[in-house]
Amino acid sequence: MKPDCDVYLGALVRELAEDLAPCLPGSWEQAAVMRHVQLLPVVRQEFERAAHRRVQENAAIRALFTQALGIVKEPVLLARLQSAATSRDASLLVSELDAGNRALRGLLVDLHASVETLSATASNSDIQSLETAIWHELAASTLRREVTLGRF
């Protein structure tokens, strides 16, 4: 038997909604179960796209670091960017992708702070382009996390 998360979660939603919730004695208990029924499809969505979203985001952040290499002059930050820009995801395990993503996003915060400081002190189209690219990626990463809930 191959455990299929999508099939299992779909069956769990059906059993909770149709078999368990109606048997519960009070409306509070039924509502508690139904909250889980409404959230399980979100778990299904995240399971389906988990690795893809993280790999995509990590690659986008690394591309920003590559773009920054010709702009950032501060030696310590530049070395960190060079190392991260050429790094690769250790595996497709979600926990390892998350660990890598946390490190990359932490460095992105440092890069963004540096770019904002640079843009305040110098008028340079490369700096402005990088700052715009960072904001675009932050918006894109928010959209990648978007979930669709069913009708209530």
pTM over 0.85: no
Q: What are the residues whose beta carbons fall under 8 Å from the beta carbon of 57, sequence distance 6 or more?
A: 101, 141, 144
Give 22-69 pLDDT, tens digit per residue. 999 999 999 999 999 988 888 888 888 999 999 999 999 999 999 999
Note whether 115 and 127 are within 8 A (CB): yes
Give 81-118 pLDDT, tens digit per residue. 999 999 999 999 999 999 999 999 999 999 999 999 98
Q: DSSP letter string over 123-142?
A: --HHHHHHHHHHHHHHHHHH
